[in-house]
Each structure stands twice: as structure tokens, then as C-alpha cells.
Amino acid sequence: MVQRRANMRRIPESTIRRLPAYLRVLENQKETRTTSVALGERTGYSSEQVRKDLAYFGAFGTRGVGYDVSQLGHQIRHILGLDKNVKAVLVGAGHLGTALLRYTQSGVSDVQFAAVLDNSPQVVGSAIGSMVVEDIQHLESIVTERKIRLAVLTVPAEAAEKVAERLAEAGIGAILNFAPSPILTDQDRVLVQNLDLTLELQAMAYFVTEHDDLESPVS
């Protein structure tokens, strides 16, 4: 979960996290108009949910008609800040980092990675798609000079906290941490989202096992 800083809007975090899903549907849409029902079906949310989410930011639709696909797309991109060319740095050029980089390179309009860093001499200097891996030593200057606001961490668990500290010090705005170890410090300076894929997998195990024995105690 995202830990929030002091002055956030009164817009539910869950709403923000659904917006990219709506956006993707809109971008894959051929028709020029759509409705909350259609958007709901394609994203897995209810139509009321879709309407409420969009209405937080104003009245984008037309009653009796629906939403204009390209217009709504632009609105959402603006809300998310994707029209401002948000720059990100990827720290850790392993398999996971490479996968993420490839995803964002293939997509049309997205968060743009402005740097890929690693600490291994074997990896530094090599290319991943169109990006050349740079030395993590230069993290601070790269973040500052290229005005990078977003960091994605795909480093080993032991390195995560230290790298996060350096990123925070360099003035980054938010960190998406995939390392199998949560980042707990500096949450007043930086927005941190910990996303541990192995923990997700363990949680899934619960839902495929029988639980006859561990009934919740009747209170």
C-alpha cells in the first residue's frame, strides 16, 4: 500500500489506482464514444465505480450519451500527470528490471525511463533496448540533473533500504519498490510503495488451501 504524505487530495487512493486501467481501455478503443458500463466491463469494476471515479475530477461525460473516448483519455492522462512526461529511474538491471523496462518501452504513452542504474561492472555499460546501463555511483547527479521524480527499485533485498535513502536524499518524489524487503524509512520525505511479488504469491496460497481446522474463533 502507498503510504501518503501530509497534503493529499480528498480523492481516494483506490480511485487513482483505477485510472490507469480506464486509460488503457480507452487507448485500445476504436469507437469514439463509450459509457461507464463498457469501461466497467473491460476493467472489471462496476459502472457506478467508474462514474464516481471520473466525477471526482469534474463532469467529463454527457448525460444520456456517455464519454468521448479521446477527450476522456486526455483528461485521465492529465490527471495522472502522464502528459508532463514524468521521468523515472530504474535501479537494478536484473531480470525484473529488464522486464519492466521492456514493458514501458513497448507501450505508446507512458512513464519514461530516463536512466537505468546498476552496481555490477559487468552490467554497467551494456544496453537494454535503447537504454545504456549507468553506474549507480552517479545516482545523485543523474537524478538531480535529469529532474527525475520517480524511482523503481529492482535491487536485492539487502540493497533496498540504502538505495532508497540515497534516492530520498537526492530529492526523488516516489519509490516503487520491488525488492523483497520493505522500505520503511523516510516516508515523510518520499512516497513509498512496496510491492513484493513473492509475498503476493504466498498470499495466493491461502486461497487455494482448505481451512477446515482454522475456523475463525466465534466471538
Residues between 60 and 119 with contacts to its own copies, criterion CB under 8 A = 78-82, 84, 86, 88, 94-96, 98-100, 102-104, 107, 110-111
Nearer to DNA, 61 or 97 (CB): 61
In this structure, what C-alpha cell is assigned to residue 84? 508532463
Q: Is 112 one of the binding residues for DNA (CB under 7 A)?
A: no
Contacts of 190 (CB under 8 A, 6+ apart): 164, 167, 168, 172, 173, 174, 175
Nearer to DNA, 31 or 158 (CB): 31
Nearer to DNA, 13 or 145 (CB): 13
**N-to-C CA span, the chain:** 29
CB atoms within 10 A of CB 207: 7
Q: Is 6 one of the binding residues for DNA (CB under 7 A)?
A: no
Secondary structure of residue 166 in the 3-state scheme:
helix
Q: Of residues 57-86, which lie at the interface with DNA (CB under 7 A)?
A: 59-67
CA distances from 87 to 39, 63, 111, 146, 156 (A): 28, 37, 6, 8, 23
Q: Is 204 one of the binding residues for its own copies (CB under 8 A)?
A: yes
Q: Of residues 154-193, which lie at the interface with DNA (CB under 7 A)?
A: none
Q: Which stretch binds its own copies (CB under 8 A): 66-74, 116-124, 129-137, 187-195?
A: 187-195
Place of cell 533496448: 129
- Rounded Cα gap, residues 143 and 114, in angstroms: 9
Q: Rule CB under 7 A: which residues touch DNA?
A: 12-15, 35-37, 45-49, 51-52, 54-55, 59-67, 217, 219
